[in-house]
C-alpha cells in the first residue's frame, strides 16, 4: 500500500487542467454561482435549525462531538476537512475503518441519518468555503486515495473536478463499503463518466435523484 506521504507527493504533481473552453465557463463561473446560491439558501433556511436540533439528539444518544471531521482528498489532490454529522459512537483513538453492515458502532439515529443522507448536510458549509461542489465525485478518505492512487489507472482523474456532496456514482447505487477492488472500479467508472459529460442538466438530474433517495431512504448504506 502506498504511504500517505508518498501519496501526497503524487497528488501535488497531478495538476492536469481541463482543456475544454465550455468546461471553464460552466465549472468556474456558472457552477460556482449555483453552488454558492444553493448552499447559502440551505445554510439559512435549514442548517440554522437542523444543526442545533440534530446536535442535541446526537449528544443525548451518544457522548462526543456533534460533527465528524475527516481529512479527505479534494480537487487536484489537495486535502481538506470534510464535515458530517457524527453517526457512530465516539472513539478518537480508533483506526480508520469504513462502516459495515450491522456495524455496532453506528447509532440508531446515525443509521437514520446515513440512510436519508442527512449526515452529509454540513458539507454545504464545505461548499460555501470552496472545498466542495454540490455535485461531483465524492471525496474519499486519505487512506483510500493512498491505496488506489497508483494501483488504479483512472483513479486520480476523478480529482479533475471538485468533489461533491452527491454524485453520479451515488445515485446509481454505489454506496456503502468499498471492501473489494471491483467496487471502487465501479465507482470510478461513474466518476469518470461524470467528468466527461458534466453539464447543468446532468447536475440537476443528479440532484433530483438524490432528493428522491433521501425521501425513500437508501438501503445500500449502513
The predicted-structure confidence for 171-187, as pLDDT tens digits, reads as follows: 998 877 777 888 889 99
Residues across the chain? 222
- Percent of the chain with pLDDT strictly greater than 70: 79
Is 186 part of a structural domain of the chain? yes
Q: What is the mean pLDDT of residues 125-142?
A: 95
Q: Whole domain around residue 185: which residue ranges?
A: 4-216
Residues 6+ apart with CB under 8 A from 3: 146
41, part of any domain: yes
Highest mean pLDDT among 13-27, 100-114, 198-212: 198-212
Taking only Cα atoms into account, the Rg of the chain, rounded to an integer number of angstroms, comes to 17
In a domain, 199, yes or no: yes
Tell me whether residue 44 is in a domain: yes
174 compared with 64, residue with greater pLDDT: 64
**pLDDT class of 13 with cuts at 50, 70, 90:** very low
154 within domain boundaries: yes
Which pTM was predicted? 0.82
127 lies in a domain?
yes
Q: How many domains does the chain have?
A: 1
17 is written with which cell numbers?
Answer: 487542467
pLDDT digits (tens, 9 = 90+) for 34-48: 999 999 999 999 999
Mean of all residue pLDDT scores within the chain = 84
Question: Is residue 111 exposed (0-12), middle (13-18) or buried (19+ Cβ within 10 Å)?
Answer: middle
The reply to whether 20 falls in a domain is yes
Query: What average pLDDT score do residues 60-83 get?
Result: 94
Is residue 187 in a domain? yes
Phi, psi at 16, each rounded to 5° = -65, 120
Could you give the C-alpha distances from 154 to 135, 181, 218, in angstroms and in order? 20, 13, 27
9 Cβ contact list (under 8 Å, min separation 6)? none
Q: Are strands 79-85 and 164-166 parallel, antiparallel or unpaired?
A: unpaired
Amino acid at each position: 500500500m502506498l504511504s500517505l506521504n508518498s501519496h501526497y507527493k503524487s497528488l501535488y504533481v497531478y495538476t492536469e487542467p481541463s482543456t475544454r473552453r465550455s468546461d471553464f465557463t460552466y465549472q468556474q463561473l456558472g457552477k460556482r454561482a449555483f453552488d454558492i446560491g444553493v448552499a447559502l439558501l440551505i445554510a439559512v433556511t435549514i442548517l440554522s435549525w437542523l444543526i442545533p436540533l440534530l446536535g442535541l439528539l446526537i449528544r443525548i444518544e451518544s457522548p462526543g462531538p456533534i460533527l465528524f471531521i475527516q481529512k479527505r482528498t479534494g480537487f487536484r489532490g489537495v486535502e481538506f476537512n470534510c464535515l458530517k454529522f457524527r453517526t457512530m459512537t465516539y472513539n478518537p483513538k480508533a483506526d480508520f475503518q469504513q462502516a459495515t453492515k450491522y456495524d455496532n458502532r453506528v447509532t440508531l439515529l446515525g443509521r437514520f441519518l446515513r440512510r436519508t443522507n442527512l449526515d452529509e448536510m454540513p458539507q454545504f458549509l464545505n461548499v460555501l468555503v470552496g472545498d466542495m461542489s454540490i455535485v461531483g465525485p465524492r471525496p474519499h478518505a486519505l487512506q483510500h486515495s493512498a491505496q488506489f492512487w497508483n494501483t488504479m489507472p483512472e483513479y486520480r482523474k476523478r480529482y479533475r473536478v471538485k468533489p461533491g456532496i452527491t454524485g453520479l456514482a451515488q445515485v446509481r447505487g454505489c454506496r456503502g463499503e468499498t471492501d473489494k477492488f471491483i467496487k471502487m472500479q465501479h465507482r470510478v467508472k461513474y466518476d469518470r463518466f461524470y467528468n466527461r459529460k458534466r453539464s447543468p442538466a446532468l447536475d440537476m438530474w443528479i440532484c433530483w435523484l438524490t432528493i428522491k433517495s433521501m425521501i425513500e431512504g437508501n438501503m445500500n448504506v449502513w
